[in-house]
Chain A
Amino acid sequence: MSTVQSPVWLGAQRATLETSVATPSGRTPSVVAAVFAAQWREIARNRWVLAYAIVLLLLTEALFQMGGSGVRALTSLLNLVLLLVPLVTSVFGVVYWYAAREFTELLLAQPVARRRLWWGLYLGLVVPLVAAFSVGLTLPLVWHRALDAETVRLLALYLGVGAALTASFGAAALWIGVRQDDRLRGLGLMLGLWFSAALAYDGVVVWLATAFSDWPLERPMLFAMLANPVDLARTALVLRLDSAALMGYTGAVMARTLGGGPGLAVSALGLALWIAGPVWLAVRAFRRKDF
C-alpha cells in the first residue's frame, strides 16, 4: 500500500502552495464574509424565516393590545420565546443543512479553508434567524412608542437571550447535520434534543428533587441549571422580571442562592459556554467530514 510523503516534505509543499494563493495586496480574502453575505441573501428571502418574523410580530402585537404595556407583553412572551426560538432554530437549521448540502460541497471544492467556510455558513444561518426574532419582538413596541427605559432594558435582554439560544441550537443543528447523513434521523435527533432541553428537562429535575428531598440539593440544582441552555435562558429573563412564579425549579434555586446580579452573570456565562461547546463540536466535525 502506497503512503503519503513525509511530514517535512508535505509541509514544504503546503507552504509553497499557500503562499502562491495570496492576493497582490497580501490581504487574506474574506471567505467568511462572502459566504455569510450569500447565505444572508438566501435565508432572509426564505418564506419560513419571514413567517417566523411575522408570527412573532403578530403575537407581540396581540399581547401588547391585551396587556397595554411593553413589559407586560414581553413577560407574557417568556415561555413562548423559550419554546419557539430553540424549536424554529433546530428544525430550520437541520433542514437547511440537508437542503444546502450539495451546494456546500461545491463551496468546499473551491480553494477555501473548511473552518472559514463553516463560519460563513453558521453566521449565515444564525444572523437571519436572530434578525427575524428581533424584528418580530421589536416592531410592535416601536410603532406603539412603548420603548420606555424599563421596556428597552427588558427587550435588550430578550434579544440577547434569543440570540444566544439561536446561536447555541443553530450550532447544534449543524453539528448533528454534519454527523448524521440520514436526513430523517438527523431531524429526529434535533427534535429530541429540543424536546429534552425545552420540555422534559425541568420535569426530570423536579422529579429528582422530590425523590431526593431529604438531601441538600441546592448545589446539584445549580449544576442542573447550567446543564441546560433553555433553563439558563429562562433564569436570565426571570431574574430580570423578578417573577418567582415563572422561574421553574432550578431558576428559583438560582435566585435564592446567587440573587439577581450574580445570577444573571452566571446565566450569561453558562449560555456563552452553551454556544462555544456546540460550535467547537460542529467545526471539528465539519473539518473532519468526508463529503
Chain B
Amino acid sequence: MIPDMMAENVRLAARGVHKAFGAVRVLDGVRLALRAGRVTAVLGPNGSGKTTLNKVLLGLVRADAGAITLDGQVVTGTDAYRRRIGYMPQAPRFPDNLSPREVLTLMQSLRPAEPVDLDASIQRFDIGAYVDRPLGVCSGGQRQRVNAAVALLFSPDVLILDEPTAGLDPVASAALKDRIVHERAAGRAILVTSHVLSELDGLTDDVVLLLDGRVQYEGSVDALREQTGERSLERAVAALLRTERASVATGEAA
C-alpha cells in the first residue's frame, strides 16, 4: 500500500504521471486522486492534457513515468483493474451495423463475472425505442445515451466520464446529471471532464485544473469559491485562470 493514496477514501489515483509524445510534453508530474462518493472535475483548455490523463488512468496510453493506483495498489500496465472502472468516452463512434443491444451484450460478455440487468439498463437510459436499430441510423443524442448505458452497465467503483452531456438534449442531459448524482450517493468515485463549466456547477465536489500538462489547482469547489470570491464554478475557474496567467506574465517579465 502507498499510505498517502489510502487517505480519504481514494479509489483511483495518478501519482507523478509524465507523458510526452515526441518532443511535446503532455503531462508533467500530474497527481490526481478520485475519492469514493465524490465527483472530481478535470478542467482545462484544449490541449491541456485532460484526454491524455483519462487515457493514462485507463491504460490506453502508457505513462513515461509515474504510477496509477487503485485502492493504493499499483495497477500500471495491468488489465484486470479496469473491471472496476466505467468509461464514457467523448462522442463515441459505435459500429454502424450493430444495434445498442448488441453493443451492450458485447460489453457484458467482456465482463462475464459481473452481474448485469440488461433490460433495467435499457430502461434506465431510455433506449428501448431504438435498442434493436442499427446505430448507424441513430442520432448523436441517442448514441450518447448508449454511451452512458455502456459506462454504467456494471456497477463500477470508478466512473470516468469525458464530456458526458455533449450532444444530449436538455431532458437527457438533466437525466444523466441526476444519474451522476445518484452514482455519487452510491459511493462511486467519479471523474468528469467538460469544457462547459456551467454543466458541472452543483455536480462537482473537487476540481483539478490542468494547464500545459501541469496541475495548477487541486482542491474542493468550496475552497476554490472561497479563494476566488466567486459563487459560480465558471467564474471561479475564470478568476483562477486570470491569476495563473498574471503570475506567469509576472514571472516572464522578471
Give me the interface of A with B, judged by CB distance under 8 Å. 1-5, 9-10, 13-14, 16-18, 20-24, 29, 31, 34-35, 37-38, 41-43, 45-46, 99-103, 105-114, 290-291
In the complex, residue of chain A having the shortest beta-carbon distance to the beta carbon of B63: A4
B110 touching A110, Cβ below 8 Å? yes
A112 touching B150, Cβ below 8 Å? no
Say whether B62 faces chain A, with CB atoms less than 8 Å apart: yes
User: Considering the chains assembled together, what is the distance between the CA atoms of A183 and B180 in angstroms?
Assistant: 36
A18 touching B16, Cβ below 8 Å? no
A290 touching B92, Cβ below 8 Å? no
User: Considering the chains assembled together, what is the distance between the CA atoms of A114 and B77 in angstroms?
Assistant: 11
Stretch at the interface among B65-73, B196-204, B246-254: B65-73
Chain B 100-135 interface residues, beta-carbon cutoff 8 Å to A: 102-103, 106-107, 109-113, 134
Q: Kindly identify which residue among B21, B95, B134 contacts A100, using a CB–CB cutoff of 8 Å.
A: B95
Say whether B98 faces chain A, with CB atoms less than 8 Å apart: yes
A291 touching B73, Cβ below 8 Å? no
**Additional pairs, 13, CB under 8 Å, beyond known A3-B67, A102-B92:** A2-B15, A4-B67, A17-B75, A34-B110, A37-B106, A38-B103, A42-B96, A42-B97, A43-B97, A102-B89, A106-B89, A109-B82, A290-B55
B60 touching A109, Cβ below 8 Å? yes
A29 touching B102, Cβ below 8 Å? no
- Given the interface contacts A111-B80, A111-B81, does A4 sit within 8 Å of B74 by beta carbon? yes
A10 touching B93, Cβ below 8 Å? no
B81 touching A106, Cβ below 8 Å? no
Q: How many A-B residue pairs have CB under 8 A?
A: 132
User: Chain B contact residues: over half helix, strand or loop, or mixed?
Assistant: mixed
Which residues of B lie under 8 Å from residue A5 when comparing CB positions? 67, 74
A4 touching B65, Cβ below 8 Å? yes
B65 touching A3, Cβ below 8 Å? yes
A41 touching B79, Cβ below 8 Å? no
Could you tell me how many residues of chain B have their Cβ less than 8 Å away from some Cβ of chain A?
A: 48
Which residues of A lie under 8 Å from residue B77 when comparing CB positions? 10, 14
- Given the interface contacts A2-B29, A103-B94, does A111 sit within 8 Å of B60 by beta carbon? no
A17 touching B113, Cβ below 8 Å? no
Q: List 5 A-B contacts (CB under 8 A).
A: A4-B76, A10-B76, A21-B113, A34-B109, A291-B61
Q: Could you mark each residue 181-202 of chain B with 1 if its beta carbon is under 8 Å from any beta carbon of chain A, else 0? A: 0000000000000000000000
Of A31, A105, A107, A110, the most chain B CB neighbours within 10 A belong to: A110
Which residues of B lie under 8 Å from residue A101 when comparing CB positions? 93
B60 touching A290, Cβ below 8 Å? yes
- Given the interface contacts A20-B80, A38-B95, A111-B81, does A2 sit within 8 Å of B16 by beta carbon? yes
A38 touching B55, Cβ below 8 Å? no
Say whether B18 faces chain A, with CB atoms less than 8 Å apart: yes
- Given the interface contacts A18-B78, A22-B113, A103-B94, does A35 sit within 8 Å of B106 by beta carbon? yes
Q: Distance in Å from the Cβ of B78 to the closest Cβ of chain A? A: 5
User: Considering the chains assembled together, what is the distance between the CA atoms of A176 and B91 in angstroms?
Assistant: 25
Q: Kindly identify which residue among A34, A35, A38, A106 contacts B92, using a CB–CB cutoff of 8 Å.
A: A106
A2 touching B67, Cβ below 8 Å? yes
Which residues of A lie under 8 Å from residue B74 when comparing CB positions? 4-5, 9-10, 13
Q: Distance in Å from the Cβ of A247 to the closest Cβ of chain B? A: 41
B97 touching A106, Cβ below 8 Å? no
